[in-house]
C-alpha cells in the first residue's frame, strides 16, 4: 500500500483526472468550438475546434468540425476570399486573411 500512496503524492488528483479526460472519445480536439463567419455578409464558413486564446489567424483543416464553403477559402455567398491554403508544420491549414472573418 505504500506504493499507492507514493503515486498519489507524486501526481496528485488533478493530474489523475487529466489522464481520465484523455481517455474520452474526441479528446484529440480542443473542447471549445467557435463559429467562423464571413465579416462582409455574415455567412457561416466553418465550425472550428480552436485551441488556445486570441484572434483566429490560422485554421488547421483537421480541426474544422463543419465546413460550409464550396471553394477553399472563398465565402460561398459573396465570393470574398477569406483564407489561403497553406501548410503549418506539415499540416494542411488555412491562413485567415486579416479582417475577412468574424468568430465567436
Ligand atoms: Zn461573404
Report how far ligand 1's centroid is from the alpha carbon of 83 (Å).
Answer: 12
Report how far ligand 1's centroid is from the alpha carbon of 55 (Å).
Answer: 19
Q: Would you state the pLDDT for residue 60?
A: 94
Report how far ligand 1's centroid is from the alpha carbon of 64 (Å).
Answer: 18
Report how far ligand 1's centroid is from the alpha carbon of 28 (Å).
Answer: 30
Report how far ligand 1's centroid is from the alpha carbon of 63 (Å).
Answer: 21
pLDDT at 70 over 60: yes
Q: What are phi and psi of 87, to 5 degrees?
A: -120, 130
Summarised one tens digit per residue, pLDDT across range 12-68 is 555 545 554 444 455 555 678 999 999 999 999 999 998 877 788 999 999 999 999
Q: pTM score, two decimals?
A: 0.68
Residue 10's pLDDT band (cuts 50, 70, 90): low
pLDDT at 7 over 80: no
Report how far ligand 1's centroid is from the alpha carbon of 39 (Å).
Answer: 7
| Contact present, 36 and 59 (Cβ < 8 Å) | yes
Task: Classify burial at 95, counting beta carbons within 10 Å of its beta carbon; exposed 0-12, middle 13-18, buried 19 or more.
Answer: middle
Amino acid at each position: 500500500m505504500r506504493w499507492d500512496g507514493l503515486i498519489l503524492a507524486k501526481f496528485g488528483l488533478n493530474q489523475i483526472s487529466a489522464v481520465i479526460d484523455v481517455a474520452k472519445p474526441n479528446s484529440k480536439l480542443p473542447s471549445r468550438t467557435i463559429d467562423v463567419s464571413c465579416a462582409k455578409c455574415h455567412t457561416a464558413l466553418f465550425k472550428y475546434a480552436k485551441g488556445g486564446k486570441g484572434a483566429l489567424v490560422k485554421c488547421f483543416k483537421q480541426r474544422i468540425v463543419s465546413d460550409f464553403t464550396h471553394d477553399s477559402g472563398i465565402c460561398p455567398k459573396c465570393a470574398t476570399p477569406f483564407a489561403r491554403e497553406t501548410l503549418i508544420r506539415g499540416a494542411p491549414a488555412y491562413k485567415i486573411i486579416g479582417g475577412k472573418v468574424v468568430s465567436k
